[in-house]
Amino acid sequence: MNATTSTTSRDSHVNGLDVTAIRAAINGVAQDRSLGGTSWKVSSRWQGGAVAEHQVDGYEIGGTSVARSFAWKTDEPLELGGTNLHANPQELLLSGLNACMLVGYAMTAALMGIRIDSLEIETSGEIDLRGMFELADKVSNGYDSLRQTVRISADATPEQLAELHAAVLRTSPNFFNITHAIAVQSELVVE
């Protein structure tokens, strides 16, 4: 047993996460797959101009509703008609990808007994506004590709960190969501 494993077994918190609780959740889903089902919902309401307000009232896990309340706003930069008071949808999309992966690194590293000293993800991409404004044929109205840099400092070998990186790319829900097409059924209700 190495020092990292020994420390991890004495202290169930690694990277600010309760490893015992994570392992219990993993074991619970392994024994009863219905415990692994989750459902997420965000309600968004236009506030005028380029501002929208978004609300979360809860989610479901394993068939159980869990109440939680969060609200935030989005906007656009002045150059795109907004007031520049809030992050825009593209920035939130990229932050959602980064945030999901950050949790993945912290959690997977904790399960591997790796303590992270610092972790940063930077994701960037370009959108050609001619596509969104329908000014040019064959111009995408979204990202054609994204670039990402992950910077990590941890008590692990380069090989362990490469294994950690591969695991996060394999298991992050938002990395999957960004890198695979998702069917969206959009219904218009006229009131």
Q: Where are the chain's structural domains? A: 1-33+88-191, 37-86
For the stretch 22-77, pLDDT in tens is 999 999 999 999 999 999 999 999 999 999 999 999 999 999 999 999 999 999 99
Q: Which amino acid belongs to residue 32?
A: D
Tokens of 51: 């501002």
Dist. CA 29–CA 36, nearest whole Å: 5
Question: Long-range contacts for 12-17 (Cβ within 8 Å, ≥24 apart)?
Answer: 14/109, 14/110, 14/113, 14/114, 14/115, 15/106, 15/107, 15/109, 15/110, 15/114, 15/115, 15/116, 16/106, 17/106, 17/107, 17/110
What is this structure's pTM? 0.90
Q: Which residues contact 25 (CB under 8 A, 6 or more apart)?
A: 35
User: Does 7 score more than 80 pLDDT?
Assistant: no
Tokens of 99: 């945030």
For the stretch 96-131, pLDDT in tens is 999 999 999 999 999 999 999 999 999 999 999 999
Q: Which amino acid belongs to residue 125?
A: G
CATH number of the domain located at residue range(s) 1-33+88-191 in this protein: 3.30.300.20
**If you average pLDDT over every residue of the chain, what do you get?**
94
